[in-house]
Structure 1
Amino acid sequence: MIFIENEGITDPHTNLALEEYALRHFDEAKNYLLFYINEPSIIIGRNQNTLEEINHEYVEEKGIHVVRRISGGGAVYHDHGNLNFSFITDYDKESLNNFKKFTGPVIKVLQDMGVDAEMSGRNDILAHGKKISGNAQFSSTRRMFSHGTLLYDSDLSEVGKALQVKMSKIASKGHKSVRSRVANITEFLDSPPPIETFRSQVLHGLYANRPDFSTYHLTDEEWEGVFQLRDRKYGTWDWNYGHSPKFNIQRNRRFPIGEIDLRLDVEKGMIKNMKIYGDFFGKEPVHTLEERFKNRRYHPEDIKKAMEGVDVEMYFGKIDPKDFTDLVYGADE
């Protein structure tokens, strides 16, 4: 495995562009590891409605970056106290949504430091019952990455101020506040070092007993490719916020794989537009599923026809197809 040096860049637009560039352009015969630390920012999941996830006035006032990533999952807050990691490897179906495979080495490093870390739920790392890491994944046809954030010494008071956490998510966790569910790794260390030292310790731990470890520095041409991707995608309003179509029907439900939030624009009984939001994980982009419903009757028969031949798990993860069709048109729970 090769470590990609991001040269100390803390701009989240550039770091997310670097991650995607490496996924799509680096040697497919090799596996890579990327670390990055971002300036204060909210990183939005691929399928989320940005304006409903953030405290817009607070974000504007504080100059917090808002950037959408290409992986699924929920919105997270980053600052200089977060260490973010990304494993870039070949894609295989067994690895997709197998967060334990990628977080296992990180958990072992934390345990070796004296942190009682463990995998919990679908994509979290906990210490003493509190979340210290959230993880997400993205896959192309041949390659994938599994990435996560390590809350090391983050300003946790900013999480609740910058994010508008939905009550359904709080209720599903069984806790009353965001702050009560998360913790910094420094809280579990006797003498916590600066985050730069922690970064080095994690890197050393991940590559212990790996004689093939090496560090890669991007060429000027590769950096130019990263900056172009940043400017045309991650630095744009359309990508980070996007246009929310008008709708007159909203249906949402929280499943074990995450929340699915449907918005439908129905005119004279016909579906004119559908938008799917949520913090679920899936391989295929949901817009291809949305297109299947356009110009169909908002009627159970047409909903079932739209779903014929659809592998729902590829869009949302492990979910019963009937649960999804019932969500589109069925009885509310």
Structure 2
Amino acid sequence: MHDLPARLPGAQRNLLLKHLPEPRMLCTMRSVKLLPGTAFFTGRRSFAAGVSKEAEPLKKLVYISQSNDVFTNLALEDWLYKQGDFKNSRALLLWRNSPCVVVGRHQNPWVEANADFCAEKRIPIARRNSGGGTVYHDLGNLNCTFFTSRDEYDRKANLEMIRTAVWDTYGLDLVVNKRDDIEWRGQKVSGTAAKLGRDVAYHHCTVLVHSDRSMLQKALRTGGVKGGYESKATISVPAKTACLREAEPSARVSDVMNAIGRVFLQNPIEDKHGNTVPSEAGGYQLLNPSDYWFPGLGSTRRDLASWDWVYGKTPNFSFSRTYSLPKAHNAGNNPQEHGIASVTVTLHVTNGMVTETEIKENDSFSQTGGSDLMHISALKGQRFTEHLLDAAVQRTVSAAMNAYPRGSSGNHRAFSPGPRLTQRSLIMESERNHDPMDREYVNSILTCA
């Protein structure tokens, strides 16, 4: 009796039974037929069909994810990596995501991604398990993950397959550079990263087919560490990018997907000594990444989408900014004693949480000035964001300005609260704190001499 999922409609079950050889099993509702000897993973069952292990050639399978959710696809990739047995098989997972930013395992998302822009456009930021730099994904980009045993890991061979597939389809002469990026006329069309385990390894890469490069440029920060960050986190190397459609207007993701899958299945496999290994193509397999087929995948997805993973796994770092703040009022109503002080604030961050605040007064603050910085000191134990520090400084500024006698003609007009403190933010902050500070006074404070 054929062991098919009970959830399949009767007509579809009959159609699949007609085309599948014995023995057989399906991984999704739209799987193609399997060849004898095919080894693959359903989540609930794993099997090898009809060929003894001793005589079994190396099996090759192409998996295509039916999800466009970045966290689901990263969870699927992780599931295959942990559950798959690739001693006698090789697999290629092809997947696409809706717009998102994906940082490397050892990167700082606040450095790599434009968090404000991503939040405005509802672009999720994800952290993958592999190293390497930050990438932008959308439906115009194809992701390829090559699964092998650790001993047979060969990223250059994988990149050569992609290069060959594009040449065969569009006649475009791509080049694999020394960094294992794929380029067209010196512009990057594919970036690469990998995860190497004790027994299993995977190499994954992007292929920019017709991505929205304007969104890519806005969603990513380029040019290295910015805004006062100090860290040992991996920094992305900026590069000029290009899409295949810029070279070939007819380029489509579906065509590139088919071409890479075809080359993967048809190309002979060589071991690390250059000897050809007997292999057998198992065809394409559409995967429905769900707990039904892959038990535990939903839990993995939740972990990958959590703050603790995306931000909490950031390598330790510090973040510093210098502000010009009004001195505290210890001079009575004598406007000549008022002025500004340059203060550098540093937040030390571990696991995404502020663990220490450091305040350096670059010139003499008044005797009571330290107490006015209590808002900054209180950040310890909070989740880090750049705006967390800005808000604390705004509260400090608001408190200090309340201390000035109204109508004084001191040198507070030279006060510069820093690049992120604006008229609107100061007024909003004062209104939240029920501060009677008038808008004219805010304008005077924000006017630089």
Fold in common (TM above 0.5): yes
- Where 1:61 maps in the other structure, the secondary structure is helix
Q: Paired residue for 2:48?
A: none
Matched, 1:106 2:157: no
Q: Is the 8 A contact 1:151 1:185 kept in 2?
A: yes
> 1:122 is matched with which residue: 176, 179, 186?
179
Matched, 1:134 2:203: no
Q: Is the 8 A contact 1:99 1:122 kept in 2?
A: no
> Kindly tell me: are residues 188 and 163 of structure 1, through their superposed partners in 2, closer, same or farther at Cα, counting changes over 3 Å?
same
Count residues in correspondence: 240
Read off the aligned partner of 2:164 and give its amino acid letter: K
Give distance in 1, aligned partners of 2:287 and 2:186: 39
Q: Paired residue for 1:41?
A: 100
> 2:247 is matched with which residue: 188, 195, 205?
188
> Kindly tell me: are residues 248 and 154 of structure 1, through their superposed partners in 2, closer, same or farther at Cα, counting changes over 3 Å?
closer
Give distance in 2, aligned partners of 1:221 and 1:189: 40
Q: Deviation of residue 246 (structure 1)?
A: 6.1
- Where 2:296 maps in the other structure, the secondary structure is helix
- Where 2:210 maps in the other structure, the secondary structure is coil
Q: Deviation of residue 224 (structure 1)?
A: 3.3
Gaps of 5+ in 2: 1-59, 227-236, 269-279, 321-346, 349-354, 357-449
Q: Is the 8 A contact 2:150 2:199 kept in 1?
A: yes
Q: Deviation of residue 86 (structure 1)?
A: 0.4
Matched, 1:235 2:305: yes
> Kindly tell me: are residues 115 and 37 of structure 1, through their superposed partners in 2, closer, same or farther at Cα, counting changes over 3 Å?
same
- Where 1:107 maps in the other structure, the secondary structure is helix
RMSD between aligned residues: 2.9
Q: Deviation of residue 218 (structure 1)?
A: 5.3
> Kindly tell me: are residues 124 and 209 of structure 1, through their superposed partners in 2, closer, same or farther at Cα, counting changes over 3 Å?
closer
Matched, 1:15 2:73: yes
Task: State the TM-score, normalizing by the size of structure 2.
Answer: 0.49
Q: Paired residue for 1:84?
A: 143
> Kindly tell me: are residues 209 and 147 of structure 1, through their superposed partners in 2, closer, same or farther at Cα, counting changes over 3 Å?
closer
Matched, 1:208 2:266: yes
Task: State the TM-score, normalizing by the size of structure 1.
Answer: 0.65
Q: Is the 8 A contact 2:100 2:138 kept in 1?
A: yes
- Where 2:126 maps in the other structure, the secondary structure is strand
Higher helix fraction (1 or 2): 1
Q: What whole-Å deviation, never above 9, does each CA across 1:81-115 have from its counterpart, x for those lacking one?
A: 000000011013x84xx531221111111122211
Give distance in 2, aligned partners of 1:164 and 1:25: 35
- Where 1:212 maps in the other structure, the secondary structure is strand
Q: Deviation of residue 167 (structure 1)?
A: 4.4
Give distance in 1, aligned partners of 2:186 and 2:287: 39
Give distance in 1, aligned partners of 2:225 and 2:94: 32
By relative contact order (CA 8 Å, sep 6+), the higher-ranking structure is 1
Matches within 5 A, 1:184-333: 184-189=243-248, 191-192=250-251, 194-208=252-266, 211-216=280-285, 221-231=292-302, 233-242=303-312, 245=316, 247=318
Read off the aligned partner of 1:115 and give its amino acid letter: L
Name the larger-Rg structure. 2
Q: Deviation of residue 199 (structure 1)?
A: 1.8
Read off the aligned partner of 2:114 and give its amino acid letter: N
Read off the aligned partner of 2:312 and give its amino acid letter: G
> Kindly tell me: are residues 243 and 19 of structure 1, through their superposed partners in 2, closer, same or farther at Cα, counting changes over 3 Å?
closer
Q: Deviation of residue 123 (structure 1)?
A: 2.2
What percentage of aligned pairs have identical amino acids?
31
Q: Is the 8 A contact 1:138 1:145 kept in 2?
A: yes
Read off the aligned partner of 1:215 and give its amino acid letter: Y
> 1:25 is matched with which residue: 72, 83, 108?
83
> Kindly tell me: are residues 239 and 91 of structure 1, through their superposed partners in 2, closer, same or farther at Cα, counting changes over 3 Å?
same
Read off the aligned partner of 1:83 and give its amino acid letter: L
Matched, 1:65 2:136: no
Matched, 1:3 2:62: yes
Give distance in 2, aligned partners of 1:163 and 1:191: 27
Matched, 1:50 2:109: yes
- Where 1:35 maps in the other structure, the secondary structure is strand
Q: Paired residue for 1:166?
A: 223
Q: What whole-Å deviation, never above 9, does each CA across 1:46-82 have from its counterpart, x for those lacking one?
A: 0001111111110000000111001111100000100
Q: Is the 8 A contact 2:266 2:281 kept in 1?
A: no
